[in-house]
Amino acid sequence: MSSDETPTDAEAACFEAGIKFGSLYHQFAGTPVSPDSAPSLETAMEESIENQPHCREVTVDVRLDELEAALAESTADYTELTGRFLEVEIVIGYEDCEVVTHMEMEDGYPLMRLESVRS
């Protein structure tokens, strides 16, 4: 895109999705989490990000199987939240465009991916 071009609605929606994922991940990484606190943390993350402009829906699932496996190797009853414990979907609406994004673990890395762009 050259400096005199205006971004398309799809480009703007994708940009907004990236902002939401950056906010979600970096705001909550390191938060203490346990199997008991996971549901309230999911809700807090969803509601926090849904406050942002153009955000239609956020779904956060803490992967309890991974969380419990990590805690089995520890003497603590909680651990810090990292991408390995999360599956996230964010839906952005910008003008007449809808973007669906998803984050899940892939090869040991929390990969954030664009799933679809609909105009």
pLDDT tens for each residue of 5-49: 999 999 999 999 999 999 999 999 999 999 999 999 999 999 999
Please determine, for residue 1, whether its predicted confidence score (pLDDT) is greater than 60. no
State in words which class domain 14-118 has: alpha beta
Expressed in angstroms, the distance from the first to the final Cα of the chain is: 20
pLDDT at 4 over 90: no
C-alpha distances in angstroms, 119 versus 12, 55, 82, 99?
A: 12, 16, 33, 9
Span 99-106, mean pLDDT? 93
Q: What is the mean pLDDT of the chain?
A: 95
Count of helices and strands (H, E) across the chain: 3, 6
Domain ranges of the chain: 14-118
